[in-house]
Amino acid sequence: MVLGMIDKYVVQPVYNFFDEVGRIVLFAMEAITLLFRPPLFWREILTESHHVATTCIIPVVCTVAPIGCILAIQALNILRPLGVEKLMSSMVVIIMVRELSPAMTSIMIAAQAGTSMAAELGTMRVKEEIEAQDVMAVNPIQYLVIPRFIALFIMCPILTVIAFFVGMAGSYVISVYVEGVNKGAFLTGLWTYLEMYDVGGAIFKSCVFGLVVAVISCYKGFYVTGGAAGVGRAANDAVVICITTFLILNYFLTSILWITM
Amino acid sequence: MASKEEFRKYETGEPIVTVRNLSKSFGSLRVLKDLNCDIKAGETTVFLGPSGTGKSVFIKHIVGLLKPDEGELEVMGRNVPTLGERELYELRKHLGLAFQLGALFDSLNVYDNVSFPLSHHTRMRQKEIKSRVAEVLELVGLPGTENKLTTELSTGQQKRVGLARALALNPTIVLFDEPTTGLDPILCTTIDELILKLKTELGKTFIVISHDIEGTWNMADQVGVLYQGTLLRYGRNADVRRDDNIFLKQFFGRTEDGPMIGV
Ligand SMILES: Nc1ncnc2c1ncn2[C@@H]1O[C@H](COP(=O)(O)OP(=O)(O)O)[C@@H](O)[C@H]1O
Ligand SMILES: [Mg+2]
């Protein structure tokens, strides 16, 4: 009885978890091996990249700009009474570059592009389109999955950079025009602590996050079972698993890249 | 190595597909049980049976989408289950499969669907591809539909576009999963006649899956009766037809009172 419960609620889930992780890793490795084997479908890569960029840009801008605004307000709340208002932009820019632009961008990309990829591939699986491609001697991983991998790997850092500028613009507008911070102080403060290393680190992070979204969303969609309901589940799982995974991963990446000894 | 050999031409009546002791299970469900048959080149072989008996599973084995648990399967001299991806893809360029539900690419229009195998596997110019697409669409009775979205088509039209796509590369063997299921009687006859015409004109080998008895008698040279994963009867059209009564009673006569026949 108790053993049965342990089996059902502990052993099985743990087993399933590692089973799934193993499959995802194998899937990623297969895709990466096929990446180096021709043909590479350039048109699909361009279409997918364009699709990711156009569908994600507005959600990214609309979430990062207000984040920039609130960061400015909260930073001023702490720094103004201490009389170090000029450090406000130094603090905001560090948080924005190192953490919030990669994370917020990836969250929106997972929500927008990741779910749409999972649903699209899932529908193709259910409708036997993926099998049809295979029968027509076109490898579906090369034709469908690799272009999506590349699109996310490229667009995630690009959107992250855009998000960074938008976020900083938000915080500039609030601090200069609403809170009355000195323009010059804000702009010079930006360079107090920021280094190229931070920008590189942020781009590295966003490449990793882009890959996480690509691998998990495509995996979930590509191996859908169970018809239309399965497609819905895949899209749902994809977004939750993606965001959880890369936010946890984010902690480790930040530790490696920026921990102060 | 066999796989490096050129694909040779098969004379009419020569076995082009041989199936030996083919078995397949999904979990505890035994779908195919010990199938044996020779399918001859230049003929139309129809596999008949109620739905859910493993007809689609059988056809997916022939094109190598599924691997058997046991048994051998040779298509055009290739031992399909043992082929690597490259050899399998070479073989598949000689096979055209029209799926039961069409399996057209939703995101592409009719032209892009039908030209898909052409643009991937030939060096044809745009103009040549265009005329080939027009040609196969004409064959399946849908001329001038190139710019339609596949979602705008009826199921019957989608199936025919699927057939056009399967025919585009001019394959040696055309496999057709339930061409007439769900179509109105006039279209059924049209498709049956189309298959007859293609066979006589182009000398192609057709492997057709069906549960339409009348259509089968009209177009088949060879008939196989599949029931619950076993090949009950496999022989010439006329011979099987003479047994008509026996198996009609056994399988198809019970349409009204049994759950044996679905869709
Ligand atoms: N990939 C699969 N996984 C599990 N079961 C399957 C799979 N494909 C088919 N089946 C099962 O095999 C049986 C035969 O299916 P199918 O060949 O599609 O029947 P039909 O004769 O109507 O074409 C069905 O019970 C179906 O549920
Ligand atoms: Mg079927």
Q: B190-232 pLDDT, tens per residue?
A: 888 888 888 887 778 999 998 788 888 888 999 998 888 899 8
Question: Which of the residues A116, A136, A138 would you substitute to probe the B interface, choosing the one with the greatest number of B C-beta atoms within 10 Å?
Answer: A136
Q: How many whole angstroms separate alpha carbon A147 and alpha carbon B42?
A: 40
Choosing among B80, B92, B93, B158, which should be mutated to test the A contact, i.e. which has the most A CBs within 10 A?
B92
pLDDT tens for each residue of B41-100: 999 999 998 888 899 999 999 999 999 999 999 999 999 999 999 999 999 999 999 998
pLDDT of residue B181: 79
| A139 vs B contacts (CB less than 8 Å) | 85, 89
Helix B185-202 to helix B155-167 angle (10° resolution) is: 10
Per-residue pLDDT, B245: 56
Record the tokens describing residue A183, joined without a space. Answer: 């323009």
The yes-or-no verdict on residue A1 having pLDDT over 90 is no
What pTM, to 2 d.p., does this model score? 0.91
Residues in B lying within 8 Å of A, measured between beta carbons = 60, 63, 65, 85, 88-90, 92-93, 95, 97, 99, 101, 103-107, 116-117, 120-121, 165
d(CA B108, CA A121): 14
- Joined tokens for residue A249: 């991963």
pLDDT at A206 > cutoff 90: yes
pLDDT reading at A174 higher than 80: yes
Give the confidence band of B184 by pLDDT, cuts at 50, 70, 90.
Answer: confident
Q: Is residue B4 very low, low, confident or very high in pLDDT (cuts 50, 70, 90)?
A: low
Average pLDDT over every residue of B108-120? 95
Q: Tell me the mean pLDDT in the region B163-188.
A: 88
Q: A81 falls in which pLDDT band (50, 70, 90)?
A: very high
Q: Label each residue of B67-122 as H, E or C.
A: CCCEEEEEECCEEHHHCCHHHHHHHHCCEEEECCCCCCCCCCEHHHHHHHHHHHHC
Q: Which percentage of chain A shows pLDDT scores above 90?
A: 89
**Confidence label for B253 from pLDDT (cuts 50, 70 and 90):** low
Minimum mean pLDDT among A75-79, A144-148, A221-225, B237-241: which range? Answer: B237-241
What is the amino acid identity at position A129?
Answer: E
Nearest atom within ligand 1 for CA of residue B51: 22
What is the pLDDT at residue B196? 86
The 3-state DSSP class for residue A225 equals: coil
Structure tokens at B97: 């499969």
Which is nearest to A44 in space by CA: A141, A115, A125?
Answer: A141
Dihedral, B83, B84, B87, B89 alpha carbons, nearest 10: 110
Chain B residues close to A135, C-beta within 8 Å: 63, 65, 92, 95, 97
Task: Tell me which of B26, B67, B232 to substitute to probe ligand 1's pocket, judged by most ligand atoms within 8 Å of the beta carbon.
Answer: B26
How high is the ipTM of this complex?
A: 0.88
SS3 B23: strand
pLDDT given at position B185: 81
CA-based nearest residue in chain A for residue B100: A128
| Token pair in block for residue B6 | 């050129």
What is the rounded distance in angstroms from the CA atom of residue B203 to the CA atom of residue B12?
A: 8
Taking an 8 Å cut-off on Cβ atoms, the answer to whether B99 and A128 are in contact is yes
Contacts of A109 (CB under 8 A, 6+ apart): A52, A56, A60, A152, A155, A156, A159, A209, A210, A213
| Per-residue pLDDT at B1 | 44
Exposed/middle/buried for residue B90 (C-beta within 10 Å: 0-12, 13-18, 19+)? middle
Tokens of A44: 């699909």
User: How many angstroms is it from A233 CA to the middle of ligand 1?
Assistant: 22
Which of B57, B99, B175 for a ligand 1 pocket mutation test, highest count of atoms within 8 Å of Cβ?
B57
* Collapsed DSSP state (helix, strand, coil) of residue B263: coil
Residue B200, exposed/middle/buried by CB under 10 A (0-12, 13-18, 19+)?
A: exposed
Convert the pLDDT of each residue in A39-50 to its tens digit. 999 999 999 999
| C-alpha of residue B53 to centroid of ligand 1, in Å | 7
